[in-house]
A = this chain, B = another copy of it.
Amino acid sequence: MSGFKDLMAFQRQTEALAQVAGRLGWDQETMMPDGSAAQRAEEIGALEAVLHARRTDARIGVWLSRAKAPDSDGEAQLRQLRRQVQRAAKVPGRLVEEIARATSLAQGIWAEARANEDVAGFLPTLAEVVALKREEAAALAGGGDPYDALVDDYEPGMTGAAIAAMFGAMRPRLVALREKVLGAEAPKGVVGTFEQGAQLALSREVATLFGYDWNRGRIDLAVHPFSSGSGHDVRITTRVSETDPFNCLYSTIHEVGHAAYEQNVDPAYALTPIGQGASMGVHESQSRSYENQLGRSRAFTGWLYGRMREVFGEFGIADAEGFYRAVNRVHPGYIRTESDEVQYNLHVMLRFDLERALIRGTLEVADLEEAWNTRFRSDFGVAVDRPSNGMLQDVHWSCGLFGYFPTYTLGNVYAGCLMQALRADLPDLDSDLARGDPSAATDWLREKLQRHGALYEPRDLVRRACGFEPTEGPLLDYLEAKFGAIYGV
């Protein structure tokens, strides 16, 4: 027992310091004066050095070796810590530092290359990052599949092969749906100017409806919306376009999905190794189901249409049905982050196949652009017009985040399963949503999934919540039914 107590006390301080680091990041994106950037980098560096020293502290191994968990929650705490320690033991400190240095530089070089449409200017840097990540993946895999070892950082227990099988089943149906939908007539969009203050007020109102706890959070503006923090201080950001009110509104609902997940974790787990979301994929399942399956449903958009008419008056949409179609418009485009429910996962699958090949050594950086452009034309039916619309569009690879992309689609798949189970349990959900009340759904998600934090392995958690093994079927059925009806295809 004593090893367990010492370990939890030590870990609690580490988790508290990690929250501080997260809040520094929040401050940097929302509050920090422009001229403070260089000093802030030193502050974050100093704090990260403290965190790294604590996470690799030799005492953790000693405590773990004699720790006995008092209960099943304790077992999960130890499981999480063992994973961290085992991972840290496999990667030489020299390599950790090289990756940190290389990716820190690479982000600036990537941003400049993207601005200048300069693939050649980015390739040597990307090659260095890929080489280092291959080395790290090999060290972690110990003879196993190197890409699996990286996926495990973001989605414990998931493998490249399992993802490939799932994506392989999804891709033809999504490509077919995409072609049918884009061949049909596009719904009318909104027109007019939507005042920033009114958009923010409406977003706050909707965040409250989706269960965001303002007593332990706040909303601010940022260039890229995000959610930040765990436990009792979980903040969100949003952005505003005065011509596109859905940008602010659905960014907010998406971030509320992430933030409510963190806020709803059992308070007993706060500042412990299981006191946050179970994985990136499960996190995305919450943000996506709040945003899409609930927020973009026919029932909820019916309520939202009435509310937006009250707030903004006329905006060129005659009725709730037209509004639902406008909210769910599918449009051609090159950019993943601007994509819609139909096409989003195709963007992810492209990246997954390419990054998996890069890490496994079956694709070289020199051939990446051609591979990207070929695949894009095949899945999206058009040629990439410039690198910033192609392989230079995402920051992830310059950060060394290989293995991260598939969790976006995994989140959508989990959201599909969760919504199928949730709707079976809640037959009156649509009449609630039509009154602007998603609380039965968010309560269900809190009770079945969110409160457990990282108590269970991600896939196991989703299975327990749904009552069945998660597969891609429910998501595909949902997308085909929804967009088939909207587009009459």
Q: What residues make up the interface of A, taking CB atoms closer than 8 Å to B?
A: 12-14, 16-17, 19-20, 23-24, 27, 31-36, 38-40, 42-43, 45-47, 49-50, 213-218, 231-233, 235, 270-271
Contact = CB atoms under 8 A, between A and B. Distances in A.
A39 B16 CA distance: 8
A287 to B, nearest CB: 20
Residue from A39, A47, A218 having most chain B Cβ neighbours under 10 A: A39
11 contacts: A16-B42, A16-B45, A20-B24, A23-B43, A31-B31, A33-B215, A33-B235, A35-B213, A35-B215, A35-B232, A39-B271
A13 B49 CA distance: 9
A47 B20 contact: yes
As for how many copies of this chain the complex holds, the number is 2
B215 A39 contact: no
A20 B20 contact: yes
Contacts of A45: 13, 16
A384 to B, nearest CB: 39
Nearest to A42: B16
Given A46-B13, A217-B33, A39 B20 contact: no
A17 B47 contact: yes
B215 A34 contact: yes
A400 to B, nearest CB: 24
B12 A233 contact: no
A50 B17 contact: yes
A136 B390 CA distance: 66
Given A12-B42, A20-B47, A34-B215, 18 more contacts: A12-B46, A13-B46, A16-B46, A17-B50, A19-B39, A19-B43, A23-B24, A23-B27, A27-B27, A31-B31, A31-B218, A33-B214, A33-B215, A33-B216, A35-B215, A35-B216, A39-B231, A39-B233
Contacts of A36: 216, 232-233
A227 to B, nearest CB: 14
Contacts of A39: 16, 19, 231-233, 270-271
Contact of A38 (B43, B215, B232): B232
Contacts of A43: 16-17, 19-20, 23
A246 to B, nearest CB: 27
